[in-house]
Amino acid sequence: MSEPTPLLAPLKPRQIDARLWRRGTFVADEWSMIAADEPPPPGRLPIFPLARWRQDGTARAATGAPAGVWLPTGETLDAVADDLAWIALVALPFPKFSDGRSYSAARQLREAGYAGEVRAFGDVLLDQIPLMLRAGFDSFLITDAATILALERGPTAAVPDGVGCLRATRNNLSAR
């Protein structure tokens, strides 16, 4: 007996160029995530991977130049706790939507008194943004087309900071 053929192919989220959403609107991103072995890009602020931050991020920040760090999923904040005063941005990854470890890291940063920008990147979906805001995130690097479309539509009564209705957005994208 052969394997049955599905009637419909599974839906895959459409990914597009990343856009930065902050304070209820899309804004230009002055930051750039860099690899461990590449130089900081001219005219852009660097977000160092943790390993690179340990090598030269503190020295750069001590010069007064803004710098950010991105922590791998599951990394404890102990890795940067002594440097939080120098770090202008902490980027926390969401490798898949069901991985919530970065929520805890954001909350711990805020409870430790960190006042800089906390950015979510990776698999950031519309449904997660209200909880991410409550956990302490204040910017989101988004690649999911449905999420971007919903946020472009503006605020709703339920979530006045710009989060729209995901179901209607996905239906509209499917109709295209």
Per-residue pLDDT of 6-63, as tens digits, reads 766 665 667 788 999 998 899 999 999 998 888 888 889 999 998 888 887 667 766 7
pLDDT of residue 77: 81
Closest by Cα among 79, 85, 92, 139 to 115: 85
Q: Which domains does the chain have, with CATH numbers?
A: 16-146 (3.40.50)
Q: What is the pTM of this model?
A: 0.78
pLDDT band at 95 (very low <50, low <70, confident <90, very high): confident
Judge whether residue 91 has pLDDT over 60: yes
Closest by Cα among 150, 115, 109, 108 to 130: 150
Task: Tell me if 18 sits within 8 A of 141, measured CB to CB.
Answer: yes
If you ran DSSP here, which 8-state letter would residue 53 be given? Answer: I
pLDDT band at 86 (very low <50, low <70, confident <90, very high): confident
Average pLDDT over residues 57-82: 81
Burial group, residue 144, by CB count within 10 angstroms (0-12, 13-18, 19+): buried
pLDDT band at 101 (very low <50, low <70, confident <90, very high): confident
If you ran DSSP here, which 8-state letter would residue 54 be given? Answer: I
What percent of the chain is modeled with pLDDT above 70? 78
Judge whether residue 4 has pLDDT over 90: no
Closest by Cα among 76, 75, 146, 87 to 113: 87
